Copies of this chain bind each other. A is one copy, B any other.
Amino acid sequence: MSDPFAGIDLATGRASPAPPRFALNAATTKRWPMAELVEGCLAAGVTGLGLWREETTAHGVAKTADLVRGAGLSVTSLCRGGFFSAPDWYDDNRRAIDEAAELGAPVLVLVSGGLPVGPTGLPTRSSGRDVDAARSWVGEAIGRLVPHALEVGVTLAIEPLHPMFCADRCVVATLGQALDLADPYPPAAVGVVIDTYHVWWDDQVWTQIGRAGASGRIACFQLADWITPLPEGVLLGRGLPGSGCVELDRFAVAVDAAGYTGPIEVEVFHEAVWSRPGPDVLAATIAGYRASVGER
């Protein structure tokens, strides 16, 4: 039932170069080694690549920057900073900002982290079940990073995650909340990520997309589809665009109408996607993108 490739015809992904705004988020092809990934993108006419710190630091940040730049690819975003409930959050996020700058990524994606946990590893009354306080802290922590982000020219992009991640991964659960947190800071320093997987269920998202566009805060736009049933832990249950129930085209139209003209990343986490060869996954990703949002 939960097939991240459902209804997707790979052949249409191989038929012609990727659409102009298509960008591959490398998490979708997680096990594709960096050099092959870059080659594969070139072969498929992909011009934008979203990267993750885990892989770029393993491969070497400078080496990755050289490889990607040498191939003429743009790095569309770096995932991820955030997790502001961790003790070393400040130093780690400074490093992440510097890595984004070195890679030429205009955007560092921030996943805020969940509720603070007590010694048992669970949120407790004393450690803080107060989700409002946890969200306020995220805003304050981001503020402390703003001067450095502005200095090196990287936009910190707050990503609201689906409310099912609110306790343990990201207390920022709606686009409205993300924009509230971004409000005090200049849009060059703090923006938001719109990831269809996380926000599709929200009837207020359309108004908030307009608000995000009007304030110049759409820093990153990502596509993934919602498929069920969700797997244990719910992290690796996304479908490629077109395999699920999200009105992806409606999102593309709304984000375009809000004035965003940048890359559209496809970011899918799913074991059944990761276990297939990189070139096949890329072809399926392009095919799903094309079927969902056209030749954008």
Contact = CB atoms under 8 A, between A and B. Distances in A.
Interface stretch (A115-123, A138-146, A184-192): A115-123
B1 A129 contact: no
Contact of A201 (B123, B173, B232): B173
Does more than half of chain A's interface fall in helix, strand or loop, or is it mixed? loop
A168 interface: yes
Given A130-B247, A245-B115, A233 B233 contact: no
17 contacts: A122-B227, A122-B244, A131-B200, A131-B247, A132-B203, A135-B203, A163-B163, A163-B164, A163-B201, A166-B200, A173-B202, A173-B203, A174-B202, A174-B203, A229-B232, A229-B233, A232-B232
Interface in A138-176: 162-164, 166-168, 173-174, 176
A122 B245 contact: yes
Interface in A94-141: 115, 120-124, 129-132, 135
A81 B248 CA distance: 31
A16 interface: no
Contact of A167 (B129, B168, B226, B232): B226
A123 B228 CA distance: 10
